Amino acid sequence: MSAQKAYEELIKRVREVSLLYSCESVLGWDERTYMPRGGAAFRAEQLGLLSGLAHEKFTDPKIGELLAQVEKSDVVKDADSIEAANVREIRYQYDKRTKLPKELVEEITRVTTLAQGEWVIARKNSDFKHFQPWLEKVVKLQKDKAEAYGYDGEPYNALLDDYELGATVDQIVDVFTGLRNDLVELLGKIKGAPRKPDVSIIERDYDVELQRIFGEAVAAAIGFSFEEGRLDITTHPFCTGIGPGDTRITTRYNPKRLNDALFGIMHEAGHGLYEMGLDKKNHFGTPAGETFSLGLHESQSRMWENQVGRSRAFWAYFFPQAQRIFKESLAGVKLDDFYGAINDVKPSYIRVEADEATYNLHILLRFELERPLLTGDLKPADVPGEWNDRFKKYFGIDVDRDANGCLQDVHWSAGYIGYFPTYTLGNLYSAQFFAKAVADMPDLTQQFESGQFLNLREWLRENIHQHGQRYRADQLVQRVTGKPLSAKPLIDYMTAKYSEIYGF
Amino acid sequence: MSAQKAYEELIKRVREVSLLYSCESVLGWDERTYMPRGGAAFRAEQLGLLSGLAHEKFTDPKIGELLAQVEKSDVVKDADSIEAANVREIRYQYDKRTKLPKELVEEITRVTTLAQGEWVIARKNSDFKHFQPWLEKVVKLQKDKAEAYGYDGEPYNALLDDYELGATVDQIVDVFTGLRNDLVELLGKIKGAPRKPDVSIIERDYDVELQRIFGEAVAAAIGFSFEEGRLDITTHPFCTGIGPGDTRITTRYNPKRLNDALFGIMHEAGHGLYEMGLDKKNHFGTPAGETFSLGLHESQSRMWENQVGRSRAFWAYFFPQAQRIFKESLAGVKLDDFYGAINDVKPSYIRVEADEATYNLHILLRFELERPLLTGDLKPADVPGEWNDRFKKYFGIDVDRDANGCLQDVHWSAGYIGYFPTYTLGNLYSAQFFAKAVADMPDLTQQFESGQFLNLREWLRENIHQHGQRYRADQLVQRVTGKPLSAKPLIDYMTAKYSEIYGF
């Protein structure tokens, strides 16, 4: 077989694996939206079969042989070519996935399935002792996983790589620590500020059907295509890029609070725009047409949710529409008061309910515990104490119960250690990209004010989406913004916004 | 490997094939309900991959080896056992599917995909000449398929077997001809009858949301579980049994006509009850837990739609509820007038809009053309003339255009020759089973009048559903009713009903 033929065969096989995963995506979407309750056990079987088949096909030694042949050929001689990127990233994943012993994968699945059930009980009773033995098991298995992968530096790097490919603690720890210090300082200023937004504006009656109509109008305005996508309701909102021409988002509506679904829809639509912006038509199922960085993905959702959706310019355009739709609850409300209300900052226990300013503090705290958990410097038994000490230091409040502290998130019970940092990476990328977009399009604020959002969408498509996995996240940030990752754009953006709203 | 182990391995493999098909079912349901339009091309790829993998796994020579080992062992020594039925039916399907050359299957797929597109154009323009070359190609390929399968008697038997396993022309042709003659006679009596129902009653405003609520109440009352199923909207209604605990039906609503969705829902719920009544919990994906006869399946849908849903006893219970829900359109309407309106008989061109009495004449006409098409005694070019002659003879009206005649159905363009008879078999089985149910439960009418439908559901479950593929359809009819298939129960049932309504 010629090297070109081998490359084509490799792509064909990898694409087929992705096609199987895309079937899983449809079944997963269905499971969370419309599946009758009675179908749950059977659905697990269907999903198990599909992922088993996909894994089997991807770790087939034939993939390794094809890779070896192509790697030493002219097909990849141009390191910047799509072919080279595809081969590089397929190799990376192939080596990773073939390194994990089947028994370890099965044991992780078995333990985390049980651990999630026990976590639900522990959280309900706010009983850390109940969860502790399971956290110990999970941490142990994650250490084993890190060892199986192998790593430079500390074991955390191996886990982080599963979610933020190529990222290392060394790359991010200084940025994170700087961000933490700046956020604690910013929070102090906000707390002591003379002005406070009136949040009651957004906590009135907001008819769910009207929220849907307004949310869909907003999603369409920023470029989410309802010809190639849809919006449904789920308990836990998500976005799934099923394949070319099919990207779906979900949300949940709170009839007493406008923010949840509105910014939730913009968030998921931001993920959706990334999926829609990938070149799936030509490269579906191969690295060139897919994403690999949760941080980059989150940067897209957070930009549309925060830099756009929580901007004054966005509401200069959309607020009159909102007032027409939510006639009673927004009657007589001033734009600036509404803008203040949707940007209210208030330290609270729960990460998923956190505002834009405190959100990253929640993440950084978790990151600071996960690393020593992996090295063994922090014992699972000591997690609540360590959590509560840091929470007091960063947020200025005492954690009243572990359900509001270290037991709040599903991640650890599910074995997702190394996942949290991607949320903050997303916020950092988002601010850094957005600052560059503003530099490239100095009239972006005016564009938003007149309802023009598609130039930003195009900018993102051109600079980020279309590249798929051609560049690792750190390379892409450097390439697009001309600088390495930094906390400065995020802090500058927040300081400017909150000083205006809070008057400090 | 011991024979027992070989049997278990066989079942495991066959179950896995079914699991793949069940994933296809989810994707197919999604395609017809919620998929964004833009996802169509990609969906075809996903479905193609899944059915390709399933076919590959089912025709794996290893299946043949396992069958051979088990067949000569003690595992199947009790011919009435589940094991024996499983092995018998897996063998039957394995032999069939391995007989078709891959090239022929692909050619059929290719030609019928094109033919369906051309049929749409031909029907739109009522231009048979446009469709004729495609009908010729399809007939030729179906002949090739019949030859590849092999058959006793005429080639039609081989095709019929794909939809009604084990059925032959010899078994059904006399019953069909007798039925046709009796129906033509019955139709004559109805035409000359002194009384005519007032159909305007059911052609008033029927709010779609209220239709859904009433339809779901009816479906629930006859035993369709909404914990293990759901009802959605599609252009072409269907039922899909995805797996244990997950059976879904769809309908379409006509805001100006009550019948369509109401009896449509009962029809699909009847299919659904069959799916729910199979022992999928223990035998999902193997012959013992699955259906194989479209006729038997149709008998369940038609029984709930017609013998139950169009009975006076059913409406004695449900009509007061309907009047409460459809306040204005049913105000002052008498039960007997409503009962007449939903049983109105009126010869018309289009099969899918036909009433209970004329429906089978549509089918029998098609059956009478399909057989000679296969033997070559009828040329595709002569189909319109032959169609129109018979239509005049049976229905008493002239076909005005081929779009209202031989171009109306998608089946032939899709390659489904041999499919139509299953509709009439369903109606025949339905009447024969129902007569026996009434004999077993003489107070069934009174049960219906008091809203009790679950005893019939239990009777069907015990006599039919739970057996899966243990008995072929003809055996099951004999076993349950003590008689071979006959047109008499259907004709008796219709004569009794229509003579009462029409007063002849």
The alpha carbon of residue B42 is apart from the nearest alpha carbon of chain A, in Å, by 6
- State what percent of residues in chain A have pLDDT above 70: 100
Which run of H or E residues covers position B329? none
- Calculate how close chain A gets to B348, using CA atoms only, in Å: 38
In a domain, A487, yes or no: no
**Are A209 and A323 in a shared domain?**
yes
Determine which one of B268, B290, B368, B370 is catalytic: B268
**Mean pLDDT across A176-201:** 96
Residue A262, domain extent: 199-331+442-482
* Chain B residues inside the 8 Å CB shell of A12: none
H or E stretch including B287?
Answer: none
Among A99, A133, A167, the domain boundary falls at A99
Interchain pair A246, B42: CB under 8 A? yes
Phi, psi of A327 (to 5 degrees): -50, -55
pLDDT given at position B292: 87
Residue A180 is assigned to a structural domain of this protein: no
B174 pLDDT above the threshold of 90:
yes
In a domain, A362, yes or no: no
Chains A–B, number of C-beta pairs less than 8 Å apart: 112
- Torsion angle in degrees (nearest 10) through CA of A241, A245, A251, A255: 180
pTM of the model: 0.94
Give pLDDT tens digits for B60-114: 999 999 999 999 999 999 999 999 999 999 999 999 999 999 899 999 999 998 9
Residues A234-252, mean pLDDT to the nearest whole number: 96
pLDDT of A292 strictly over 90: no
Which tens digit of pLDDT belongs to each residue from A386-416? Answer: 999 999 999 999 999 999 999 999 999 999 9
**Residue A257's pLDDT band (boundaries 50, 70, 90)?**
very high
Tell which of A42, A77, A99 closes a domain. Answer: A99
Residue at A426 is within a domain? no
- Between β-strands A239-243 and B239-243, what pairing exists: parallel, antiparallel or unpaired? unpaired
In tens, the pLDDT along B373-414 reads 999 999 999 999 999 999 999 999 999 999 999 999 999 999
Read off the pLDDT band of B295 (50, 70, 90). very high
Distances from the Cα of A134 to the Cα of A110, A387, A417, angstroms: 12, 18, 14
Q: Cβ A42–B53 below 8 Å, yes or no?
A: no
Please judge whether A245 and B23 are an interchain contact, meaning their C-beta atoms are less than 8 angstroms apart: no
- A53, B49: Cβ pair inside 8 Å? no
Please indicate, yes or no, whether residues A86 and A207 belong to a single structural domain of this protein: no
Pair (A82, A223) in one structural domain: no
Among A14, A34, A233, which would you mutate to test the B interface (most chain B Cβ atoms within 10 Å of its Cβ)? A34
Of A41, A68, A99, which closes a domain? A99
Give me the half-sphere count of Cα atoms (radius 13 Å) on the Cβ side of residue B405.
23
Average pLDDT over residues B191-199: 94
Domain assignment present for A159: no
Q: For residues A299 and B495, what is the distance between their CA atoms, to the nearest angstrom?
A: 71
Q: Is B449 a catalytic residue?
A: no
For residue B245, the distance in angstroms to the closest alpha carbon of chain A comes to 4
CA distance B19 to chain A (A): 6
Q: Do B46 and A23 touch (CB under 8 A)?
A: yes
- pLDDT for B267 equals 97
Residues A93 and A206 in one domain: no
Question: Do residues B90 and B364 lie in contact, with contact meaning Cβ atoms separated by under 8 Å?
Answer: no
A27 and B23 within 8 Å at the Cβ level: the answer is: yes
User: Can you name the residues that pair with B254 across neighbouring β-strands?
Assistant: B257
Partner-chain contact B245 A27, CB within 8 Å: no
Q: Which of A89, A268, A290, A356 is catalytic?
A: A268
Residue A252's pLDDT band (cuts 50, 70, 90): very high
Kindly report, residue by residue over B40-60, the tens digit of the pLDDT. Answer: 999 999 999 999 999 999 999
pLDDT of residue B59: 96
CA nearest to A51, candidates A90, A10, A85, A97 = A97
Query: What average pLDDT does the structure give for chain A?
Result: 97
For residue B8, give both structure tokens.
């278990």
Query: Does a structural domain hold residue A173?
Result: no
DSSP code at position A307: I
Query: What value does the mean pLDDT take over residues B233-240?
Result: 94
Mutate to test the interface with A, among B20, B23, B278 (most CBs of A within 10 A): B23
Q: How far apart are CA A386 and CA A381, in angstroms?
A: 10
Helices B3-33 and B82-99, axial angle in degrees (round to 10)? 60
Average pLDDT on B460-472 reads 96
Shared domain for A205 and A70, answered yes or no, is: no
What is the domain count for chain A?
A: 2
- Asked whether residue A323 is assigned to any structural domain, the reply reads yes
> In whole angstroms, what is the distance from residue A159 CA to residue A154 CA?
10
Residues A323 and A460 in one domain: yes
Q: Biggest alpha carbon distance in chain A?
A: 74
**pLDDT at residue B489, as a whole number:** 98
ipTM over 0.85: yes
Asked whether residue A255 is assigned to any structural domain, the reply reads yes
Residue in chain B closest to A229 (alpha carbons) equals B36
Contact list in B for residue A42 (CB cut-off 8 A) is 22, 242-246, 284
Q: Do A36 and B284 touch (CB under 8 A)?
A: no
- A248 CB neighbours in chain B (<8 A) are 36
**Upper half-sphere CA count for residue A434 (Cβ side, 13 Å):** 27
Give the pLDDT score at B173: 96
